[in-house]
Structure 1
């Protein structure tokens, strides 16, 4: 099956390296905006909960950041998927790469976050809850589950559907 890409297959590595650096830069800005959005918070969280009167423009900034801060990660992931992954890979090779890049960080960080939440008193510890922190898209880790589903589904559709139109829709 022919692999469609935003850049030509024969493109030199300098173009891919530049794109990779640009994507890392954009991702860094997006990470900073997510952090800023959480610091500002809504009326029940973040610095806005500390004041009787809402801080000037904080609600507007919060709402603005929340209009795009998570979709930008999916857009970056989609562009990276298009440029740097190969539809010639086997399902096994692709799933292994996603396991290393998505599942292992999830399995490492979700239990740590769960334990911190139990120490803070916001939830009660249970072994079931600890296991569920990895399996279910809870807390801040919903993104890992959604990204895994989106990338595996996209890879499967690209392998099964050879239409260039379908590729660009995905």
Structure 2
């Protein structure tokens, strides 16, 4: 995912203002790359379930279960690796090239894609992110606020109040999906507060064992909730009144979703492998899988592939899930990253003003 690095802050980062207890072991920690890869697989599978007509209660249950925690995990990790962020000129330039520039490029690319595949009047609207692109401006804005959250006394509580205010308000404009930025904010702020010891805690064997019954209970709860509520709550894109509930319901639902997301995120991380595996290298390229898999999903929708009879059967839906996992795996691979590096991770050194001579 965007701008997540698996290199924990070392001694040099500590001098620059990183937390004193940041780990100093060299290289990338395979645990975080494995977590990002497995999470992006869940994202792709969830997006492949969305277009299924009459997907059925089982698929809706899995969809609800996955959407409870897959984006919170990414955002928590983004916050964790943003600790000690200083808004100096060099760092600001990196934020622009790693988030703002790819957002602009892919916003244009997806607009052209829509216009060339049956929607010639599809508007180019930079302030209205296309589908999955909302995460790039959201992460940019969250990172700009990092110094504030590292200063305030109760950062997570304050962020939860802001998220709840967003959920009870239905007249927030749609620019940059501000509703999502506000409602997902607590996960980023929580990530800023985490330390390596917290991740070591969820990686214990006892937590791994306990995660199994917890996930089974969560699946049963999701199965019960499917016909009784809407999955739109998990998108964090709307206020309570827009979802047919009284405005005051937005506050308790925000807290409920936050608690559920934390528990299931811990269960997910408990089962992430700690050692270097075949998936570890793919974890460094999840930004590519995230930005590119939308073309495949939307292309399949436009071709009517999701309406094929084969996908109306349990076996067909399993096949679809496996295909989605394989697709995003390929998009995270080194060959794809080499081809798209200049648009996903542009350096743009030619645009940087040269430093004055001493």
Q: Does 1:107 align with 2:104?
A: yes
Counterpart of 1:143?
Answer: 135
* Long gaps (5+) in structure 1: none
Q: Does 1:58 align with 2:59?
A: yes
Structure 1 runs (4+) deviating above 6 angstroms are none
Counterpart of 2:48?
Answer: 39
Q: Deviations over 1:82-131 (max 9, x none)?
A: 2xxx44x4532221111121112112211111111112224614xxx33x
Q: Do the aligned partners of 1:4 and 1:164 also contact (CA within 8 Å) in 2?
A: no
Q: Do the aligned partners of 2:82 and 2:146 also contact (CA within 8 Å) in 1?
A: no
Aligned length: 145
Are the structure 2 counterparts of residues 122 and 68 from structure 1 closer, same or farther at C-alpha, using a change threshold of 3 Å? farther
When the two chains are superposed, the root-mean-square deviation of aligned CA atoms in Å is 2.9
Q: Do the aligned partners of 1:37 and 1:62 also contact (CA within 8 Å) in 2?
A: yes
Following superposition, the deviation at residue 34 of structure 1 comes to 0.7
Summarize the alignment of residues 53-92 of structure 1 with structure 2, pairs less than 5 Å apart.
54-55=55-56, 57-82=58-83, 86-87=84-85, 89-92=86-89
Which of 9, 17, 25 aligns to 1:3? It is 17
Are the structure 2 counterparts of residues 100 and 94 from structure 1 closer, same or farther at C-alpha, using a change threshold of 3 Å? same
Q: TM-score, normalised by structure 2?
A: 0.36
Higher RCO (C-alpha 8 Å, min separation 6):
2
